């Protein structure tokens, strides 16, 4: 079984699947960049609209809702990785995740919110999902997003 098939099977265990179609970038930038075995994903988000859990964690959203939004952003990131690498077989591993959480003034649990993304990466990608991480609290994110992830990774060139 290929690594891509293994990831899809793990996701299916939780009733999840990779997004069928990835959205185009929201501005004048690339959705991803690959160079010499290193890759970078542009901001990965839970989506847009009410089902994507917009708003600030600790104000419009609970910490658990923020955690769910982070997991949705991670699932979208897996879809973007699969798009960038024509599947996940060439993925050697995640390197770093920078997580931005739109937060109410007195909300301090950004690391716990971002655990929603990290846990999904570790579950779906197993050893290849391990990563370092930075958590940022921001007053607002574009389009009223609750969570935004920046991801770097290594891959085997074709």
Q: Which domains does the chain have, with CATH numbers?
A: 3-19+32-155 (3.30.1330.40)
| Number of neighbouring beta carbons within 10 Å of residue 136 | 13
Q: What are the pLDDT digits (tens) for 121-152? A: 999 999 999 999 999 999 999 999 999 999 99
pLDDT for 51: 86
Q: What are the pLDDT digits (tens) for 36-82? A: 999 999 999 999 877 899 999 999 999 999 999 999 999 999 999 99
Give strand pairing partners of 155: 91
End-to-end CA distance of the chain: 19
| Number of neighbouring beta carbons within 10 Å of residue 98 | 16
pLDDT for 11: 98
Q: What is the DSSP letter of 141?
A: -
């Amino acid at each position: 079984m290929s690594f891509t098939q293994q990831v899809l099977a793990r996701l299916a265990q939780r009733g999840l699947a990779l997004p069928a179609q990835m959205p185009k970038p929201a501005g004048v930038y690339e959705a991803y960049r690959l160079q010499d075995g290193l890759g970078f994903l542009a901001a990965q988000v839970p989506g847009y609209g009410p089902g994507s859990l917009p708003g600030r964690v600790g104000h419009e959203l609970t910490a658990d809702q923020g955690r769910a939004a982070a997991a949705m952003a991670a699932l979208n990131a897996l879809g973007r990785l699969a798009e960038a690498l024509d599947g996940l077989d060439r993925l050697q591993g995640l390197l770093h995740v920078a997580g931005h959480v739109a937060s109410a003034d007195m909300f301090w649990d950004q690391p716990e919110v971002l655990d929603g993304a990290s846990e999904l990466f570790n579950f779906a990608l197993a050893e290849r999902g391990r990563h370092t991480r930075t958590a940022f609290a921001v007053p607002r994110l574009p389009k009223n997003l609750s969570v935004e992830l920046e991801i770097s990774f290594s891959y085997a060139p074709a």
